[in-house]
């Protein structure tokens, strides 16, 4: 099963290093490269110690930012007023150009996640930074977070929806700044401002959402919250969001909602391996084994994890496999 999961993930990586979110041939738009999805997909490569492929992901992402460095310079000079002025979350995997249809493109968590993984991988000796150009753009991303005032900037969050302050976005930025400060200068107080905002919001995801699957990111990969908050988040996610074939993102989610009465939110497969990883880290073998089994049960006949199952059915959508889910399944089996 592990070898199958690894091959499925590798099949989603373009020759230049970028990952598609799902199959390269899918017609839903998931054949393009999201910063966030690439970061989560890269966790699978890190787990199997595929250094060459892993470096290609981050070199490609750094090349994307270097190509759009002029835009980051503008945002540093003056706080952006419009969505198009922010670092874009999605790119054509061949040209590395921004993709401009309306999508909820203001995503601070993706920027924080990138800093976190670059800092983390450098710390582990993967040598992601190639030279002064890479260091310069990483430094500018730090100044970019300062300019947008990430600690109270309303973004579209991990699910690219409502514009509000999200705990998962705050946590990503705080974790990223903490990790990257060994490589570049982080202005005094920039981390603390985010920590204070995060503390005021937790254990909620946002003003409108008490419980959200995105909160799991604060536990893994970021490990940015204390044990008390970890347990609160897990308790809420399991009580309110866990379903038969996946974990819903939040109560009332309309994306692929099939409208079959209460509890009609789509069930996301990535939630099961995510919970398995966390419970393994928390030394809960019983819970780890449970979510390990649930992950395998959620796979289709080809060993693929779909993006989601429609509520209370065995039917899944066409974003299959979802690279993010496959990567977490790999980590789950190796951790």
Confidence (pLDDT) at 320:
97
Percentage of the chain surpassing pLDDT 90? 95
Give how far Cα 216 sits from Cα of 167, 235, 271, Å.
Answer: 11, 11, 9
Which CATH code is given to the segment(s) 2-334?
Answer: 1.50.10.10
Residue 95, CB half-sphere, CA atoms under 13 Å: how many?
4
Task: Tell me if residue 91 falls in helix, strand or coil.
Answer: strand
Question: What's the CA gap between 34 and 91, in Å, rounded?
Answer: 6
Residue 333, both tokens: 């089996």
Indicate whether 277 pLDDT > 80. Answer: yes
**Cβ within 8 Å of residue 252, ≥6 positions away:** 265
Question: What's the CA gap between 203 and 211, in Å, rounded?
Answer: 8
- The closest of 237, 244, 235 to 267, measured between CA atoms, is 244
Indicate whether 105 pLDDT > 90. Answer: no
Whole-prediction pTM:
0.97
pLDDT confidence tier of residue 104, bands split at 50, 70 and 90? confident
Confidence (pLDDT) at 100:
78
Confidence (pLDDT) at 1:
87
pLDDT per residue over 134-147, tens digit each?
999 999 999 999 99
Indicate whether 108 pLDDT > 80. Answer: yes
Residue 298, both tokens: 């959620």
pLDDT confidence tier of residue 261, bands split at 50, 70 and 90? low
- The closest of 153, 171, 311 to 230, measured between CA atoms, is 171
- The closest of 270, 71, 56, 240 to 158, measured between CA atoms, is 270
pLDDT per residue over 54-85, tens digit each?
999 999 999 999 999 999 999 999 999 888 89
């Amino acid at each position: 099963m592990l070898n199958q999961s690894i091959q499925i993930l590798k099949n989603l990586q373009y020759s230049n290093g970028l990952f598609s979110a799902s199959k390269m041939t899918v017609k839903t738009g998931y054949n393009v490269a999201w910063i966030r999805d690439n970061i989560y997909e890269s966790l699978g490569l890190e787990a199997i110690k595929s250094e060459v492929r892993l470096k290609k992901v981050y070199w490609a992402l750094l090349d994307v930012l270097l190509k759009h460095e002029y835009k980051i310079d503008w945002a540093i000079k003056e706080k952006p007023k419009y969505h198009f002025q922010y670092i874009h979350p999605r790119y054509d995997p061949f040209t590395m150009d921004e993709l401009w249809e309306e999508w909820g493109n203001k995503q601070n968590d993706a920027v924080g996640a990138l800093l976190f993984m670059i800092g983390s991988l450098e710390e582990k000796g993967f040598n992601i930074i190639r030279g002064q150009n890479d260091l310069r753009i990483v430094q500018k991303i730090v100044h970019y977070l300062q300019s947008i005032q990430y600690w109270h900037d309303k973004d579209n969050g991990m699910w690219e929806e409502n514009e509000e302050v999200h705990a998962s976005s705050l946590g990503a930025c705080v974790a990223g700044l903490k990790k990257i400060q060994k490589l570049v200068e982080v202005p005094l107080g920039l981390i603390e401002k985010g920590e204070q905002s995060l503390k005021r919001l937790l254990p909620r995801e946002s003003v409108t959402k008490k419980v959200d699957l995105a909160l799991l990111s604060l536990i893994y990969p970021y490990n940015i919250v204390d044990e008390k908050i970890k347990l609160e988040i897990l308790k809420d996610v399991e009580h309110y969001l866990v379903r038969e074939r996946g974990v819903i993102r939040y109560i009332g989610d309309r994306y692929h909602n099939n409208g079959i009465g209460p509890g009609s939110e789509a069930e996301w497969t990535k939630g099961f391996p995510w919970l398995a990883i966390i419970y393994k880290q928390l030394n809960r073998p019983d819970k780890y084994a449970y979510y390990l089994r649930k992950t395998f049960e959620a796979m289709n006949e080809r060993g693929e994890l779909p993006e989601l199952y429609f509520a209370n059915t065995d039917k899944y959508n066409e974003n299959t496999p979802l690279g993010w889910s496959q990567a977490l399944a790999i980590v789950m089996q190796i951790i």
